[in-house]
Amino acid sequence: MNPELLLSRIRVVLCRPSHPGNIGAAARAMKTMGLSRLYLVEPKQFPDPEADTRATGAVDVLANATVVRSLGEALAGASFAVALSARQRDIGPVLGAPRETVARLLAEAAEGEVALVFGNETVGLSNEEILHCQAAVTIPTNPDFSSLNLGSAVQVLCYECRMAAFAGLPPTAQLTTPFASPAATNDEVEGLYTHLERVMTDTGFFNPEQPGRLLPKLRRLFGRVRLERDEINILRGILASTQAKTGHGRKN
Amino acid sequence: MNPELLLSRIRVVLCRPSHPGNIGAAARAMKTMGLSRLYLVEPKQFPDPEADTRATGAVDVLANATVVRSLGEALAGASFAVALSARQRDIGPVLGAPRETVARLLAEAAEGEVALVFGNETVGLSNEEILHCQAAVTIPTNPDFSSLNLGSAVQVLCYECRMAAFAGLPPTAQLTTPFASPAATNDEVEGLYTHLERVMTDTGFFNPEQPGRLLPKLRRLFGRVRLERDEINILRGILASTQAKTGHGRKN
- Please write the tens of the pLDDT for every residue from A134-161: 899 999 999 999 999 999 999 999 999 9
d(CA A78, CA B46): 46
Confidence tier at B178 by pLDDT (50, 70, 90): very low
pLDDT exceeds cutoff 50 at A82:
yes
pLDDT tens per residue across span A88-136: 877 778 889 999 999 999 999 998 899 999 999 999 999 889 988 889 9
At A172 the pLDDT is 46
Which of A137, A172, A207 is the endpoint of a domain?
A172
* Nearest by Cα to B72 from B227, B219, B226, B252: B219
Residue B146 C-alpha, separation from nearest chain A C-alpha, in angstroms = 5
Mark whether A44 and A157 lie in a shared domain.
yes
Mark whether A8 and A46 lie in a shared domain.
yes
Confidence tier at A78 by pLDDT (50, 70, 90): confident
Position B175 in a domain: no
Position B170 in a domain: no
pLDDT exceeds cutoff 70 at A252:
no
Mark whether A148 and A203 lie in a shared domain.
no
Q: What are phi and psi of B61, to 5 degrees?
A: -65, -40
Which of A172, A207, A232 is the endpoint of a domain?
A172
Q: Is the dihedral of CA A12, A17, A22, A27 positive or negative?
A: positive
At A168 the pLDDT is 67
CATH number at residue A115: 3.40.1280.10
Position B171 in a domain: no
Alpha-carbon dihedral angle through residues B234, B235, B236, B239, given to the nearest 10 degrees: 120
Q: Which domain holds residue A66?
A: 3-172
At B111 the pLDDT is 87
Mark whether B36 and B149 lie in a shared domain.
yes
Nearest CA in chain A to B137: A175
CATH number at residue B204: 1.10.8.590
d(CA B205, CA B203): 6
d(CA A131, CA A85): 12
- By Cβ distance, the residue of B32, B222, B241 closest to A203 is B241
CB B68 within 8 A of CB B37: no
* Nearest by Cα to B157 from B220, B113, B96: B96
Tally of domains in chain A: 2
Question: Per the CB < 8 Å rule, is B242 touching A244?
Answer: no
CB A145 within 8 A of CB B30: no
Alpha-carbon dihedral angle through residues B233, B237, B91, B75, given to the nearest 10 degrees: 40
Distances (CA, A) of B34 to A9, A97, B15, B61: 33, 17, 21, 11
At B91 the pLDDT is 77
CB A118 within 8 A of CB A82: no
Mark whether A23 and A66 lie in a shared domain.
yes
d(CA B100, CA A175): 11
Single-letter amino acid code for the residue at A108 = E
Mean pLDDT computed over B170-178: 37
At B168 the pLDDT is 63
Mark whether A163 and A75 lie in a shared domain.
yes
Residue A175 C-alpha, separation from nearest chain B C-alpha, in angstroms = 5
- Please report which residue ranges of chain A form alpha helices under DSSP H: 3-8, 20-32, 49-55, 59-63, 71-74, 98-109, 127-130, 150-166, 186-203, 214-225, 229-246
Cα angle A140, A143, A147; round to 5: 75
Position A179 in a domain: no
Question: Per the CB < 8 Å rule, is B148 touching A32?
Answer: yes
- By Cβ distance, the residue of A149, A196, A221 closest to B25 is A149
How many percent of chain B have pLDDT more than 70?
A: 93
List CB contacts (< 8 A) between B138 and chain A.
174-175
Question: Per the CB < 8 Å rule, is B163 touching A140?
Answer: yes
pLDDT tens per residue across span A185-203: 878 888 999 999 999 999 9
Q: How many CA atoms lie within 13 A of A246 on its CB side?
A: 27
Which of B111, B135, B165 is the endpoint of a domain?
B165
Which of B4, B7, B19, B33 to mutate to test binding with chain A, by most A CBs within 10 Å of its CB? Answer: B33
Mark whether B204 and B142 lie in a shared domain.
no
Mark whether A111 and A41 lie in a shared domain.
yes
- By Cβ distance, the residue of A34, A147, A241 closest to B142 is A34
